[in-house]
Amino acid sequence: MLDPNITEDSAAVPAIAVFTDSRSTERGDIHGKDIIGGDSTVTLALEIACVAKAPDKDAEGGETFIPQTDEGMEMTLDLIERQAVVELQAGQSVWANLWRTFACEVIGLRAERGAAAEKGIRFAARRLEIQCKPLTDPVPGAPLPPAWETVFAAFEGEDTVKKFAPLLRAAATGQPVPDWAQVQQSLGLALDEVTALGIVPMASEVPSLASEIVAEDDDLNVDIAVTPEGSSVGGVPTRE
């Protein structure tokens, strides 16, 4: 997060961005056609920097930039990295506890400093990557496990994302389906494959797993809709 009150006269101030980045699943971690339940590795990225603002005579507000580093900025980056890692491992906030619930295992760490490859200039920036094994996604059509119910409860209590909580919940669960259909969806089986298992009642029809729901994004001034036929943003289809 960047302090919005930074000015041209301010010293460089710290900023941090935290987000999930890459995700990968090795061949041996996927069983059959189970895309959802594969044993994935997800990267949590922490990008830390000291940011300054340069005056701009031709435009209002100036321009923010990351300056060349010095001893003080390096210490600042060290301290923020330490605080962030301690929060993940020992913090008592709702989100820190959710991290420890969903990150079943940390399998790797990687830290890179900001530098210009060609000129050898070192900037006051750092990127920390934490590779972890997360809980698997919910099975479509099945009741949400307790851990996922906790996630959506947290979403509903957070002002910035609570308007999207119904949309996210619908995407996670879809319409409730019978036990046999849950098996089919969790394993990625064709209807004739699941029928061969002998668990499909006679004359059963495959239920739709998608439900219609619309959420409004005030920042973008568009509607996001998910229906059994597809999804759209502002009325424009995102897939067929």
pLDDT tens per residue across span 132-171: 999 988 888 888 889 999 999 999 999 999 999 999 988 8
Whether the predicted pLDDT of 4 surpasses 50:
no
% the chain with pLDDT above 90: 36
Q: Is residue 75 part of a domain?
A: yes
What pLDDT does residue 8 have? 44
In a domain, 34, yes or no: yes
Token couple for 80:
């923020």
Looking at the domain assignment, is residue 72 inside a domain?
Answer: yes
Nearest to 135 by CA among 101, 93, 186: 101
Q: Quick one: how far is CA 124 from the chain centroid?
A: 26
DSSP string covering the chain, please? ---TT--TTSPPEEEEEEEEEEEE--GGG--TT-STTS--EEEEEEEEEEEEEE--TTSTT-EEE-PBP-HHHHHHHHHHHHHHHHHHHH--SHHHHHHHHHEEEEEEEEEEEEE-TTT-PEEEEEEEEEEEEEPPPPPTTSPPPHHHHHHHHHHHT-TTTGGGHHHHHHHHH-S---HHHHHHHHHT--HHHHHHTT-SPTT--PPP----EEEEETTTTEEEEEETTEEEETTEES--
Residue 55 lies in a domain: yes
pTM of model > 0.85: no
Is residue 207 domain-resident? no
Q: What is the CA radius of gyration of the chain?
A: 23
Within-domain flag for 5: no
Would the pLDDT of 230 be above 80? no
pLDDT band at 187 (very low <50, low <70, confident <90, very high): confident
Q: Is residue 199 part of a domain?
A: no
What pLDDT, on the 0 to 100 scale, is given for residue 66? Answer: 86
Range of the domain at 54: 13-134
Tens of pLDDT along 75-91? 999 999 999 999 999 99
**pLDDT number for residue 221:** 60
- Give the number of domains in the chain: 1
Instruction: Judge whether 190 lies within some domain.
Output: no
pLDDT tens-digit readout, 40-88: 899 999 999 998 887 665 556 567 888 888 888 999 999 999 999 999 9
